């Protein structure tokens, strides 16, 4: 299992010094597939690495640095577009980590821009972004209505000139999910990150990352999300984290995120049977970058949908999507 090789290299960078070429190939392929290659590059900065591997790592690192610069520019443009509305955009995930200069941002690839704004301001924000050159990606009326009725975000928008996507959130989980986080409290505690930008408080960052990974998705890219959590945990107060997680209905997910991060990237932790299933899913990647353990991966895919909505609603939704030609991978 090459994901295990990747995890070991991140946890113990000295371990790569014993690798042979074939293992390097497996490590680099798994790291690229998990989008952790530039993080690995940062971790291996001081280590003796064969020149051929160093060249690959350097390229990845330069890519991540460029993406961070681009993400901050995009955040700046969004803040500029929203200036007239009086709504300060609170950055989430990658762009937030970069804006706040966090350890989690080092070597992190940053794709879309995610921002959190008050639900009451959504119409205003939408109008301001459309006026500033963002356009709808999805033309599909069903998808659009679905997003607006049930999701925690607007349908994605792309900037016409810069070709960059923005996700505008009013909550951190879909409205159909069982936990009911309180986005108003998160917005109230947001902290300034300079240049008119805001980010969540250190504790809320962990809560959001844990909610995103464990209460929402199918654990695709989970090793990267868990690396974020591993880094973010070091910057928050554990007691405060527990208190806040309780208030957002996410205490169980935050506790599990802590155990998983401890087991995979930290010093090790006592695990439940359920945790072991999650870890098996997280490590499902081979030395060619392919996903392995197909049945388990599919089970987590189904779980992600069940988390998002009650079963009758899920059945209706999947049937509609299936009729439109959508198939799970």
Partner 1 sequence: MRHRLTLKIGPANFRIGSAWASPIAALRRLYAGYPDADGCIADFTVRLQPTGALRRWVRPSIFITGDHGLADAAPMSLAHGLLAAEMGMNLQMALGWRRHLLLHASSVEKDGRALVMTGESGSGKSTLAALLGERGWRFMGDEFALLDLTSGAILPFPRLVSLKNSAIDVVKGEVGEARMGPLLRGTAKGDIRHMVPRADAVARMGEGAMPALLLFPRFGHAKDERPVGQAEIFMRMTQASTNYVTLGQPGFAALTRFVQQVPARAIDFPDGEAAVAMVERLWEELA
Interface stretch with partner 1, choices 140-148, 165-173, 273-281, 283-291 (CB under 8 A): 283-291
Measure the CA dihedral 67/72/78/84, to 10°: -170
- Please classify residue 17 by burial: count the beta carbons closer than 10 Å to its beta carbon, then call 0-12 exposed, 13-18 middle and 19+ buried: exposed
Residue 157 has phi, psi (to 5 degrees) of -115, 145
Q: How far apart are CA 10 and CA 108, in angstroms?
A: 13
Residues 60-79 vs partner 1: string with x where CB under 8 A? --xx--x-------------
Give every CB contact of residue 299 below 8 A, 6+ residues apart in sequence.
Answer: none
Give the C-alpha separation, 311 to 70, whole Å. Answer: 40
Q: Which is nearer to partner 1, 204 or 218 (CB)?
A: 218
**Residue 50 engages partner 1 in binding (rule: CB under 8 A):** yes
When the beta carbons of 118 and 289 are compared against partner 1, the nearer one is 289
Q: Please, what is the Cα angle at 237 between 173 and 226, to 5 degrees?
A: 50
Nearer to partner 1, 32 or 305 (CB): 32
Q: Which is nearer to partner 1, 33 or 199 (CB)?
A: 33
DSSP for 231-266, written as a single string: HHHTTS-HHHHHHHHHHTT-HHHHHHHHHHHHHHTS
Determine if 234 is a binding residue for partner 1 (CB under 8 A).
Answer: no
Q: Which of residues 26-45 bind partner 1 (CB under 8 A)?
A: 28-29, 32-33
56 binds partner 1 (CB under 8 A): yes
Q: Considering the complex, state which of residue 222 and residue 287 has its C-beta at the smaller distance from partner 1.
A: 287
Strand partners, 216: none
Position 52 contacts partner 1 (CB under 8 A): yes
The answer to whether 22 contacts partner 1 (rule: CB under 8 A) is yes
Under 8 Å between Cβ of 43 and 10? yes
Interface with partner 1, residue 243, by CB under 8 A: no
Is residue 53 near partner 1 by the rule CB under 8 A? yes
Q: Does 24 bind partner 1 (CB under 8 A)?
A: yes
Contact residues toward partner 1 (CB under 8 A) are: 21-22, 24-25, 28-29, 32-33, 50, 52-53, 55-56, 59, 62-63, 66, 288-290
């Amino acid at each position: 299992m090459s994901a295990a090789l990747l995890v070991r290299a991140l946890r113990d960078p000295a371990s790569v010094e014993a690798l042979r070429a074939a293992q390097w190939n497996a490590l680099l392929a798994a790291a690229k597939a998990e989008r952790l290659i530039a993080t690995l590059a940062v971790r291996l900065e001081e280590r003796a690495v064969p020149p051929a591997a160093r060249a690959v790592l350097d390229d990845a690192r330069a890519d991540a640095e460029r993406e961070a610069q681009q993400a901050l520019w995009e955040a700046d443009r969004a803040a500029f577009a929203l200036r007239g509305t009086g709504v300060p955009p609170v950055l989430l995930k990658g762009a937030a980590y970069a804006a706040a200069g966090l350890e989690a941002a080092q070597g992190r690839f940053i794709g879309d821009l995610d921002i959190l704004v008050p639900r009451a301001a959504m119409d205003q924000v939408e109008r301001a972004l459309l006026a500033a050159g963002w356009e709808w990606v999805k033309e599909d009326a069903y998808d659009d209505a679905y997003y607006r009725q049930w999701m925690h975000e607007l349908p994605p928008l792309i900037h016409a000139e810069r070709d960059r996507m923005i996700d505008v959130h009013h909550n951190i989980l879909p409205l159909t999910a069982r936990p009911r986080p309180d986005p108003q409290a998160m917005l109230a505690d947001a902290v300034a990150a300079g240049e008119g930008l805001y980010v969540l408080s250190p504790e809320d960052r962990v809560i959001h990352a844990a909610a995103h990974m464990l209460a929402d998705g199918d654990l695709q890219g989970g090793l990267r999300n868990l690396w974020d959590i591993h880094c973010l945990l070091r910057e928050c107060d554990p007691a405060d984290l527990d208190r806040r997680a309780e208030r957002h209905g996410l205490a169980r997910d935050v506790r599990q995120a802590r155990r998983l991060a401890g087991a995979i990237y930290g010093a090790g932790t006592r695990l439940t049977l359920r945790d072991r299933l999650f870890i098996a899913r997280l490590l499902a990647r081979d030395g060619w970058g392919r996903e392995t353990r197909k049945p388990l991966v599919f089970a987590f895919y189904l779980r992600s949908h069940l988390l998002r909505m009650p079963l009758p609603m899920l059945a209706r939704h999947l049937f509609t999507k299936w009729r439109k030609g959508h198939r799970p991978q």
